[in-house]
Amino acid sequence: MQDIRTELRTWVEDGRTPIALATVITLEGSGLRKPGATLAVSADGEILGSLSGGCVEPQVLEKAEAVINHGPETGNRSIIRMEADDDPLHSPLAPCSTALEIALCLLDTEVLEQVERACAARTPLVWGIVLPAAHSSGITPLTTVDIDTSILFAYQPETQQVYGRQAGQKSLFLDPGLRSSLRGLQEPAVISVGEFRVFASPIMPRPRLIIIGASHIAQHLAAFAAALDYQVLVGDPRERFLSRERFPRSVELRSGRVDRLLRSVAPDRTTAVAVVSHDDKIDDVALAVAVESPAFYIGGLGSRKTQEKRRQRLLAEGLSPTALDRIHGPIGLAIKAVGPAEIAVAILAEIVATYRSGHHDPP
């Protein structure tokens, strides 16, 4: 839901409700999408998001439309359990997974509002679905669809507040074990609480990219990162380069001294810093501040010769070799990139690889 929240809001505002959500709850084997992946279907049949590489969606869409037509007043939702059969050519899961469970429910706008607020404020939140306990028969083929009561919810760990029209009435959220699990949740999980299962997924802060230097490379890099839902800021003391026409509207533009800018935005463990002005007076200052932050990625434009000269200057300024070792330079993956757009691809690829590796802590 985190990835498609903006489009869901547009659907709600346009009156394209009710909206069915299909969410991957459990997965055995590999898969292009993991637990928490969500597909939305509007009342007029439009599709948003995905559950797999395309092998599962056709089987789920019919059930999602049935959920919409069943009516929001009943509270009844579907749980689909799928498993690969002995014929890999006709199995809806082949070759990705051996078993998959998908929960369907109607979108609760109260939950959507909380997800939007958490993403905007970069604050902790857990969203999920309250499900009946697993059937003793375990996973069943796709042709078997159980109509059960499934409740969409959002949970604020700091205040222990529960959001969702139905979820707020569930006493199971008073369970201390569940509260403890939700408070420390780092990845999607299924938690058993009495006669219920609770699928829960944490809202993680959107990764942020701070680009220093509003160069041609920065134009492409900002656009590509914004397309990946990164929160993007471009800073440059040369205000004339920060023309709004050069960057997507979602990208924040700031002028002024780059050292003050970086300290004011306080790069954290979900922040990448790409320094691409190609002006030593700007780049040196930006990198000197960035390496003292917890940013998960710091990169500087320039050849190996340029990197070594910069390193010697920064060492002379008193920075430690360990701090300077954090700089990716030359910036980006070595893909023999030519031109600003390809260089931007190489930079963003290296940022994504570093972020997805989970190495968010500085050495």
Per DSSP, the residues of 206-273 read PPEEEEES--HHHHHHHHHHHHTT-EEEEEES-GGG--GGGS-TTSEEEES-HHHHHHHH---TTEEE
> Which pLDDT does position 338 carry in this prediction?
93
Torsion, Cα 240 245 246 249, to 10 degrees, reads 120
The CA distance from 261 to 311, in Å, is 22
> Which pLDDT does position 246 carry in this prediction?
93
The CA distance from 342 to 333, in Å, is 10
Evaluate whether 222 touches 247 at the Cβ level (below 8 Å).
yes
> Which pLDDT does position 77 carry in this prediction?
59
Nearest CA to 248 out of 224, 217, 278, 275 is that of 224
- The C-alpha angle 53, 56, 59, rounded to 5 degrees, equals 150
Question: What's the first-to-final CA gap in the chain, in angstroms?
Answer: 33
Evaluate whether 57 touches 39 at the Cβ level (below 8 Å).
yes
> Which pLDDT does position 301 carry in this prediction?
95
Backbone angles phi, psi at 126, to 5 degrees: -120, 135
> Which pLDDT does position 88 carry in this prediction?
43
pLDDT tens-place values along the chain, 363 residues long: 888 998 999 999 999 999 999 999 988 776 667 889 999 999 999 999 888 766 778 878 888 888 888 755 544 557 777 765 544 444 454 455 567 888 888 999 999 999 999 988 888 899 999 987 665 434 333 333 444 567 899 999 989 999 998 887 778 898 999 999 999 898 999 999 888 889 999 988 889 999 999 999 999 999 999 999 899 999 999 999 999 999 999 999 999 999 999 999 999 999 999 999 989 999 999 999 999 999 999 999 999 999 999 999 999 999 999 999 999 999 999 999 999 999 999 999 999 999 988 754 443
- The domains located in the chain, with CATH, are 5-202 (no CATH), 208-356 (3.40.50.720)
Q: Per the structure block, which two tokens stand in for 184?
A: 């420390």
The reply to whether omega before 188 is within 30° of 0 (cis) is: no
**Token pair 């997507």 in the structure block, residue:** 248
Strands (E), the chain: 20-29, 38-41, 47-49, 76-83, 97-106, 126-132, 145-149, 151-156, 161-163, 189-193, 196-202, 208-212, 231-236, 252-255, 271-275, 297-300, 327-328
The DSSP symbol for 20 reads E
